[in-house]
Structure 1
C-alpha cells in the first residue's frame, strides 16, 4: 500500500504542476506593485458518475484524488451500480449520471437505445485531442458498434489479454523445463502430454482452461453468430478451433471438468500444470500457488497477434448539463500519469505508449515477480466483427454460453465436433427467432 500512495502522490504532483503552469493569471492594469487579480471562483456543482461493477474502493484509489485536484469545485458523486442503482433505475428516478462506464456488449441496449448516446467527436476536435494515443483496435471497436461514425466513448483500462499460465512447482517436481514466450499450440500440447501423469496416487493434469472465453477470444477474431446472416459463423474455422482444444482433453488423465467454469478454476487447486486464461487484476490465484505466465500460444494459419477482450469506455450522457466538464474529467482519468500508475498496479493500459505497457505490474506485490511482459509479446488482435445493422442479434452472453457448453459436451465425449457445431448452429437460429418474436 505504501508503494501505491507514493505513486499516486507523483501523479498529483505532475497534474498540479501542469495545472499551475496552464493557469491564466491576468495582471492588474493599475495600482502599485501590479498585483494579480484573483481568478474568479468557479461555480460548484455535482458530477454524477456511474460505473457498473467497479467497486467504490477501486474508483477512489485510481481516480478520486486526481479529480479532486483538477476540479476542486466539483463534487463527484460516484455509484458502482448494482441492485436498485442500474442505469434504468437512475432514469426512472430522474437521476441520470453525467458520465457512464459503458462496454461494447451493452452499448446499444444499455446506452444508445435509452436515448443517452452522445457523440464525442466534436469535443475531441475542439480540444484537439489525439485519439492515436490509444491502441487503435479499441477506438475502431467503439466506432464500429456506434452509429454513423460516432464516437460514444474513450477506452478505459483494463482490457483483458490472453496468456499461458504455468505452475512452476509442478515443472520443478517433474524436472521439466518451463514454458517460454512464443510457443505454438502444438508445442504446448506436447508439454501438456508430458506433464499429465499420476504420481503417488495423485492425478496431475497437464492443461485446463475456461473454454468459453478461450474460444470466444480466439486468434481469428471469429464471431459466433455470423455478421451477415442468421447462422453460425464460418463452421470450418470453428472446427479448427474445437479440434485444437479438444485434443488436450483426450490426453489420458486430463479429463475436462463438468462445466466450462469449473475447468477454468481447476488451475487454482495446484494439480494442473498449464492454463490459458486472461490476465486480469480480477483473476485472483491462491497465494500459495507458485505460478508464472508466458505469451499466448500461436496457432498455425492464424495471425501472430494476442487474443483479447476489449476494455470498457467512459461515455457522456446526452442529458448531462456538464458535457464539456465531463469530457475534461474523462481526459484527466485517462491521462498518461494515471495510466502509468494503473499499469504499475497490473491494470493493462489502453494506450499505445510502450513505456506504460512495459511498466505492467512493477509496483504490485505479486505481478512484480512475474513475467508480465508476456502480455506484450504480440499486439492485441482486432475486435470481433459485429452484426450488420438491421439484423436481429442475440445477446453476447447467450452466444458465449451456448458456445462454451457445446465445447464441454464435445470434450466429455457426448458428441463429435461436426455434430456439435451443427447443433450449435440450430440453437443460434432458434435464439435469433426468439429475439425476432419479441
Structure 2
C-alpha cells in the first residue's frame, strides 16, 4: 500500500468532456433534471434504506449541526449512520470487517492512503452525466485538483466546505494604541513590512511585535503554487523560488523587537497573547483567537513576481464507495449537502464556500457572532491560487506533513538562528534525497 499520494502532472483535458456532459444541452445552467440548482434527478425508489457516512475529522456534533436536519427532512426514507474515525472504527478497521461505508469524506493528502488504496474508490462521472449535474458550480481549482491527484481522469469526489484561505490578521487595539493606520485590502508585502517596522517596539517595558505567521501554512500554501518536492525529480523544487520566498519573509524577523518564536508551533499562536500587531494565517472556523483580542482581517498581501491570487489549502470531498448498493441515493445525499441552500448556510457560519456563486461568497460569516463584525470580504478579494503540481506517478513521494514540517524547520533556522539561507536550503535538499533513498530501499524485495 502506498504511504502517500503518488503525484503526476497529467493533463486535465479529460475533465473537459465530463464538464460539458455534466451541463447537458444547457451548459452553465446549474440545474439538474429536477430543476434545482446543483441537484440530481430525483431517485424514484423511496423504500427505506440505511446509508453510512464516514469521516476522519468532522465531529458528529458538527455534522448534525450542518446536515442532519436537512437530510432528515428531505430524505425521510433514509436512515443516516454517521461514523467518525476512532480506535476500532478507522477506515482500515471498517474495510477489514467488511463494513465499508457508503459515503466517505476524503481529502487530497489521504486520497490514496484513506480511500483508493483500499480499492473502494468510485468514479462519479457516470452519475454526474446521468443527472446532468453541473460541475461548473464549483471553483475549477478544486475540481481540477482531485482529478489530477486521481491520475486517471476520474472524479472521485465533490468539494465540500470549508477550504482554508490565507489572510492577514491584525490587532486593532495595538494600532489604536500607537496611532498607526490599520492595514487595508490589496496591500503588498513591502507595505506590510513598513507597517511591521512601525509596530515593532517596546513600551512600558513590554515588547510589541509587528508581525507573526503560521509559517508552515505560509510556505506550504504559497502564491507561486510552488511544491516542496520537485514534481519530476528526487530533489527540492526550484530553489530560486524558495530563496525569493525566504528573502521576503525573513526580513520581518530581522526587524528589532520582532524575533521569531523558537518553534513553528509557538510562532503560530503568539498573536493570541495580545502583543503582536499582525499575523499571517488561514481563515478557519477551527482557529481560536482569544475573545479579548480585538482583531480583524485584510486580504493576503501581494508578492512581487507572484500571481495576484490568494494562497489556500483546498477542501475535503464527499466521495462514494464502490461497495455501496445505493449509488443513486448516495449521490442524492452528497449533492444535497452541497446545494446552494446548504452552502449558503455554511457560508453564513463562516465556512468559505467551494462554489463560484457570488451571492453565497458574499454571505461569509454574516450569521456568525464574531465573523459578522469582521471584514470577511477580505477572503474574496483575490481568487484562490491553483494547487501545487503533483509528483509523477512513478516517483517515490514523501508524506506531505513531513515535507511541510521540514520546510518550516528550515525557515526557522534561517529566521531564528541566522543560518545562511542557501546552506539551509541545500541541507533540506539533501535531507529530502536521503529520505527518498531510504523509502526506495524499503520497497526493494
Once residues 239 and 36 of structure 2 are traced to their aligned partners in structure 1, the CA distance between those partners, rounded to angstroms, is 54
Q: Give the match for residue 332 of structure 1.
A: 336
Tell me the residue number matched to 2:52. Answer: 48
Shift in Å at residue 18 of structure 1?
A: 7.1
Spell out the pairing of 1:337-352 with structure 2 (5 A cutoff). 337-352=341-356
Say whether residues 1:111 and 2:108 are aligned partners: no
User: How many residues in Structure 1 have an aligned counterpart in Structure 2?
Assistant: 407
Q: Give 1:143 deviation, angstroms.
A: 0.3
Query: Does structure 1 residue 217 correspond to structure 2 residue 217?
Result: no
Q: Which has the larger radius of gyration?
A: 1
| 1:90 and 2:90 correspond | no
Residue 69 to residue 210, structure 1, CA distance change in 2 (3 Å)? same
Task: Map 1:169-188; keep pairs closer than 5 Å.
Answer: 169-188=173-192
- Work out which of the residue numbers 231, 235, 242 in structure 1 matches 2:235: 231
Q: What SS does structure 2 have at the residue aligned with 1:242?
A: helix
The TM-score, its normalising length taken from structure 1, stands at: 0.91
Answer whether contact 2:212 2:270 (CA < 8 A) is retained.
yes
Measured after TM superposition, the shift of residue 85 of structure 1 is 1.6
Is 2:280 aligned against 1:276? Answer: yes
Q: Distance in 1 between matches of 2:151 and 2:309?
A: 28
Residue 64 of structure 2 is aligned to residue 66 of structure 1: no
- Conserved in 1, the CA contact under 8 Å of 2:189 and 2:301? yes
Question: Quick one: distance in 2 between partners of 1:100 and 1:437?
Answer: 33
Which residue of structure 2 lines up, in the alignment, with residue 384 of structure 1? 388
Aligned counterpart, 1:355: 359
SS in 2 for 1:272: coil
Question: Residue 234 of structure 2: SS of its match in structure 1?
Answer: coil
Quote the offset at 1:418 in angstroms.
Answer: 0.2
Q: Distance in 1 between matches of 2:243 and 2:170?
A: 27
Hey, what does 2:19 align to over in structure 1?
A: none
In structure 2, the gaps of 5 or more residues are 1-34
1:434, 1:87 → 2: CA distance? 27
Secondary structure of 2:113 counterpart: helix
**Cα shift readout 1:89-130 (whole Å, capped 9, x = no counterpart):** 111122111100000011012111110111000000000000
1:422 aligns with 2:410: no
Check conservation: 2:163, 2:315, Cα contact below 8 A.
Answer: yes
Superposed counterparts of 1:123-134, under 5 Å: 123-134=127-138
| Contact 2:41–2:131 under 8 Å retained in 1 | no
Change beyond 3 A, Cα 1:400–1:23: closer
Q: Please say if residues 50 and 100 of structure 1, whose CA atoms lie closer than 8 Å, have aligned partners that are also in contact.
A: yes
Range that drifts further, 303-312 or 425-434: 425-434
Conserved? CA contact 1:99–1:314, under 8 Å: yes
- Structure 1's consecutive aligned runs of 4 or more residues displaced over 4 angstroms after TM superposition are none
1:152 matched to which residue of 2? 156
Deviation at 1:43, TM superposition (A): 2.1
Structure 2 length normalisation: TM-score?
Answer: 0.89
2:410 alignment partner in structure 1: 406
Summarize deviations over 1:28-63 as a string: whole Å, max 9, x none. xxxxxxxxxxxx983212100011110111100111
Cα pair 1:53 1:82 within 8 Å, conserved:
no
The 8 Å contact of residues 181 and 377 in structure 1, kept in 2 or not, is answered as: yes
Structure 1 gap ranges (5+): 1-16, 25-39
Residues 146-192 of structure 1: per-residue CA shift (max 9 Å, x gap): 13100000000000000000000000000000000000000001100
Partner secondary structure for residue 437 of structure 1: helix
